[in-house]
Amino acid sequence: MKRDLDKVRNIGISAHIDSGKTTLTERILFYTDKIHAIHEVRGKDGVGATMDSMELEKERGITIQSAATYCSWKDYDINIIDTPGHVDFTIEVERALRVLDGAVLILCSVGGVQSQSITVNRQMTRYKVPRIVFINKCDRTGANPARVTEQLRDKLKLNAVPMQIPIGLEGDLAGVIDLVKMKAIYFEGDNGENIREEDIPAELQDEADEKREEMLDAASMFSDELMEAILDGGDVSEELIMAAVRKGTLDLEMVPVFIGSAYKNKGVQALLDAVLAYLPAPKDIKNIALDLDKDEEEQVLGNDPEAPLVCLAFKLEDGRYGQLTYIRTYQGTLRKGDTVVNSRNGKKVKVGRLVRMHSNEMEEIEEAGPGDIVALFGVDCASGDTFTSPEISMSMSSMHIPAPVISLAIKPIDNKAQDNMSKALNRFTKEDPTFRTFMDHETGDTIISGMGELHLDVYIERMKREYNAEVEVGAPQVAYRETITRKAEFNYTHKKQTGGSGQFGRVGGYMEPLEEGEYEFVDKIVGGVIPREFISSCDKGFTASLAKGALAGFQVTGVRCVINDGAAHSVDSSDVAFQLAAKGAFKEGYKKAGPVLMEPIMKVAVEGPSEFQGGIMGSINQRRGMIIGTTEENDYTVVEADVPLSEMFGYSTVLRSLTQGKAEFTMEFARYQPVPKSIVDDVIAEVKKRKEKK
């Protein structure tokens, strides 16, 4: 049976932490008959939200892993991914946006545009994802959707256009006025399931007329027909308005804004209608793959179910049913029993079970066509792998993966815990590209690295709960880096004579700071002074040297190594000899290149009552923070600052006592910058002391 791709929507729900994403998803599942009872995020019934399937998620009332589900609304199939709002789990948002066609950005009508809203919006822009906005929590004291719409324009630079206005606000929120239909919509019944349309209340008619005119002005920029209809002064049809708004949204030139309260069951069905009307179907999005048989030439993928298969594995999960691989199909049809090829390694894979996921429940299916988001069982692959039919070789572009900024040493308490810890780490590193692990050969400790304290906390807790791996945890360590500040030459000869054949290699050239990227190797050898087969050996030697800088033993980044001279011996030169020569050359040049220690700087946003503003700013200044700006609204202040990560440990406790528990903060990685000269010696001494202690 051929599916109508016009009637498919792949959407993500993203927002700042605590804006009500999971609550909204819960309501959507209820109204689309996927669940028959509503569970709250912090459920008094002890159940917790449907989409928060992990015990930790239910306890903490936050979303950790993006959960996939699907539902139907008015004969349309909607695949939904509910993503985490906490910045430590940003990779979950990245990988969801990579495979989605459209997104719903949720904002709190009191909090407005917050720090993580800015991050999520930036991620949506990176992947060119059309979006609509839902201003939630309009029932709360201090709700002001008009102010939030202004913030969308000022802070996010979006062409935000209200499609509705509220009927009452705060405790008086009764419904919304639809500016396209020009009708008042009320949501009645125990769970808001009964929708009643009425004429607009007389006292709101003038405001509705004014806002409709503003909306028509914005929409007419995307449709000549609509503009003509408005100028002619006749009735403007709903279809004409919706087509213009849809075009503006798909072109990323306009963002329609909707309002309501998911918790109070108001406005959710109207939002679902907007998803169908304004967000793209799979065929509206241009998806590009690289043809590996034609030097990675770009190919636009069609949405033809009969074409050769191309699908992307965007998330791995070791669930209670074994390893699940979530995939998005772009063209072709994936059937049970098919053989597909992993284009990264050329391995053939037989498709056993094919399932459609609903949070942690699943439904067996026979096939998946273009636009489907489904899961496979027992497939060994990595996040970001492309699967194709055997007759073609294509690869989808990969996701942006941020580098970890914090690490912890962990130690199992006994041999049983050691085995279980290894299993857990093996799984977590496969599932989450921002979670890394390695062995510190000096201390024998296992080091785990991630995006923040909460990120690593959650994994340690999961080790204990899911794998019964009890571990001792060291103090958090900052992932410092080293780099160079000036050009320096090197000319190093490695010479060793032992019984039998010796080792000989000379490497000459220079190193210089690299603006973009971590490392670059440039071969400028002429005349064969270093034979071709040993050029890659030099590269290997330089790469190995990057692992540990001579300044404090941290990873070296931002270096370009250029070789332009050297010498070889017909008998004594070898791969190993030139690797060692390159290591010696790197060491020689590094000392002269002005090495500096770099530290991660975090973008911190502290939100709290204005009476504590002075104390909050003082606490940031004490932590070597640079205050970027403050905004004040309704006796509430937001202080934004850049602060070194090393100074942020334990800040939540300090902030709590400073503000009587009334302020909160979020932080995300911004950039690396040099450690100030005045404290660099102290930092290096502290690092060395810690290593000796171990």
What is the fold, at CATH topology level, of the domain defined by 406-479?
A: Alpha-Beta Plaits (3.30.70)
The percentage of the chain sitting over the pLDDT mark of 90, rounded to a whole number, equals 21
What is the 3 state secondary structure string of 144-192? CHHHHHHHHHHCCCCCEEECEEEECCHHHCCEEEECCCCEEEEEECCCC
Superfamily of domain 5-283: P-loop containing nucleotide triphosphate hydrolases (3.40.50.300)
Q: What is the CATH number of domain 287-396?
A: 2.40.30.10
Q: Collapse the DSSP code of 417 into the 3-class scheme (helix H, G, I; strand E, B; otherwise coil) and give the result.
A: helix
Tokens standing for 420?
Answer: 């279980």
What pLDDT, on the 0 to 100 scale, is given for residue 484? Answer: 92
Q: What is the CATH number of domain 485-594?
A: 3.30.230.10
What pLDDT, on the 0 to 100 scale, is given for residue 305? Answer: 83
Is 80 exceeded by the pLDDT of residue 503? yes
Q: Cα(16)–Cα(145) distance, rounded to whole angstroms?
A: 16
Tell me the angle at which helices 415-431 and 453-467 cross, rounded to the nearest 10 degrees: 130
Specify the DSSP class assigned to residue 467.
H
Question: How many beta carbons lie within 10 A of that of residue 627, not counting itself?
Answer: 16
What pLDDT, on the 0 to 100 scale, is given for residue 90? Answer: 61
Q: Cα(609)–Cα(632) distance, rounded to whole angstroms?
A: 9
What pLDDT, on the 0 to 100 scale, is given for residue 389? Answer: 87
What pLDDT, on the 0 to 100 scale, is given for residue 51? Answer: 43
Output the average pLDDT for the chain: 82
Same fold, 485-594 and 599-693: no
Q: What is the mean predicted confidence (pLDDT) over 574-584?
A: 93
Q: Cα(381)–Cα(395) distance, rounded to whole angstroms?
A: 14
pLDDT single digits (tens) 278-323: 999 888 888 888 877 777 777 788 778 888 888 888 777 765 556 7
pLDDT single digits (tens) 148-183: 999 899 888 889 999 999 988 887 888 899 999 899
What is the fold, at CATH topology level, of the domain defined by 599-693?
A: Alpha-Beta Plaits (3.30.70)
The percentage of the chain sitting over the pLDDT mark of 70, rounded to a whole number, equals 87
What pLDDT, on the 0 to 100 scale, is given for residue 468? Answer: 86
Give the start-to-end residue ranges of the domains of the chain: 5-283, 287-396, 406-479, 485-594, 599-693
Amino acid at 52: D
Specify the DSSP class assigned to residue 344.
T
